A and B are shown apart, each in its own frame.
Chain A
């Protein structure tokens, strides 16, 4: 029985399933929020989660990963993120119900814009600071810093992991070249976050929780933050082992584990597999299928969606066209990530456009 559970969990956490399932789970959670926001659900989650930890604790492989001093914040993250996400959804749901019934949201009159700095902000912050200081002291006494020996460039650790908060980015390196995963995408994240106030001019939801009034934004946040950031952190922390190979939580971190994988470019699929001919020497010709695909992705999709979305978001006002395209491109870049991941997992796609001659690979 125990082994069966372990095998099941190992099987479930294989990246394709893990990722697809977490997306499905998120949408289901949001969809059935009427039930999922019940207190019994979160209590049940914590009971089951705790039971799972108690069960898994005795497994040496699981135990070793969980008890690593570096991984403690992730354990905390695991529970805190779930709890606060649930809490926000619950409050949003309750507010939605209240507003449907004509009542103001729980946070008070939606029109009321101000509270006192003292005590409502500063006092609470002070208390939090004191509590956190106490907590950090206790933590530092009980769990010693996992210091390693002096680093040497010639002897990197295996696996070489980024700080936990960057593990999401590191995961992207599996699918994209460093200049995209490490430079372009993080830049888009920063730029995108800065652009929010300019792109999103909807005043609803300010100062109170809601889901229905901001269904797209909240869903996007859940997918983007929970599925792509937090769950990648978890994946990178617990499920990535030596050689960046994937390991189930109950699997032994075997240094010599192999992953059978031969990755192929779009151009190879197109020319060699479909047309059964060698790839052309001309780089542009060779990569033309990928270039066309990317062109379609970034140019045609926004154009196609321009009319319906402009109407929906900005009432068809063409003055907002720049706003629309900025948003669209950010979304498309974001969308490229799961698309590329899925293609990697399903058809072993290496590059959509692969021009190693110029170090230009997408």
Chain B
């Protein structure tokens, strides 16, 4: 297979098929370097082709393209009248922070500064800052609860995973909206408990984001399973030694459990942060396709979608995507930088 692919008329003896091993005295043959290279690598690259093609066509090229688009005023409905506007899109995003209301782009057009962008950024940051730590704390607490020698723990684990299994679906987002409506189930329960003057949690801008944070924290299952795997790795002798030395449960938690888990915490933190920044479905369904009342749930992804697909401002949407990439990249780098100080890859494994 290798031979026929790489070089059909090859003089290589048929005895050594398919193994591009180094011991063959290739250097003494009159085979061009290219052919030699191909012969050595052809099979591997054949296996790699789908991925490589996908990377080049669907990742690398689109990244370069969107970087370029971000410096233009590309409009999906009239792509032929695209102008290079330099950093115009970026000024449009952040101009409000500098008291700008409009400016002239290099193309000569007067561009109004985006009055919603900073709002969308702050909504998203608030959401990430609230939901990620809460989710991790909750996931760890539940994981510790399940790390006891309990019978039927695998059943519990499965049940606790159900919200995560279903939580990202449209069905659950629809349900969530109904639950937290003014006349929804949650207020029904609260009213039965004697509370009065209850707000419509989704329609009140003070609480709308909190209901979405709750929906996210509710889906703590993946982090829980990873924490549980991490907890099982901590040698039991550590705890025995500590309790012989007189450490109480809290001290054991603070000085054994948490330090041993820091690599897992780091991993969960980064993964959850990256995915939280990209939350879309829940915000879209609960806000009814908009940013909700007073844009209280105008998530970044949602706003990007509105700009790109409702207003067809795909140049601007591309610039927004790049800012998101830079934010996520910078935060990830920051977390990893500080991780030297708080993550211990000790003898815990």
Q: Do A and B come from one complex?
A: no
